[in-house]
Amino acid sequence: MTDPDAVPFDLASMRKQYRAEGLSETELAATPVEQFARWFKQAATDGGLFEPNAMIVSTADAEGRTSARTVLLKHFDEQGFVFYTNYDSRKARDLAENPYVSLLFPWHPMARQVQVTGVARRTGRDETAAYFRTRPHGSQLGAWASAQSSVISTRAELDGAYAELAARYPEGEQVPVPPNWGGFRVAPQTVEFWQGRENRLHDRLRYVERPDGSWRVERLSP
């Protein structure tokens, strides 16, 4: 039996009343990426968010077993949403077996969410290298030091690998791009914009890609 003192909050009664202002079809941009750019600018400047580009990436393997993790969005345009990772990580292995992916931007302080569903494809090596060069020196070394998602014996093992790399590539020296590291671009098929409203009657407007590449907008019941 659960110790009642271990959960000091009444979870059933925890709730916030969301804002009255909503989201209407007449306010939407012509494409979901344009609408995302509008909301992202507000999230980055006025949203009070620590990392507005943090998103939950959900994948499933060939057997349908799901996993999710928080990743940072590093670029977006009409072709899709880009993030970077080790290609031997669990998410990359999942995407190799099943390229369908979901991205969720949980902008809670603004009572907003954006959910993207689509297909992930690897970015080209030139694009990957260009981004890698923008990373801080320590992050470049970290991409080499970490065999992401693999089991390691101790933290000291990871720190030792990093120290060896730091000695080999001191600050100011170019670090090569790891061959098993790179980006994924998620080409959106649906993009839902969720605006919290009073009485849990939220606004949910979803762009759905048509076969010709244009978009239709549908309103979902909350």
Running DSSP on this structure, what letter comes out for residue 108? G
CA count, 13 A, side-chain hemisphere, 144: 19
Q: Where are the beta strands (DSSP E) in 49-175?
A: 54-60, 66-72, 75-77, 80-86, 100-107, 112-122
Determine whether 219 is an active site residue.
Answer: no
Q: Are 138 and 172 in contact (CB under 8 A)?
A: no
Q: Which has the closest alpha carbon to 101: 82, 124, 123? A: 82
- The residue from 65, 168, 200, 219 that is catalytic is 200
> 93: exposed, middle or buried (C-beta count within 10 Å: 0-12, 13-18, 19+)?
middle
- Give the catalytic positions in this structure: 200
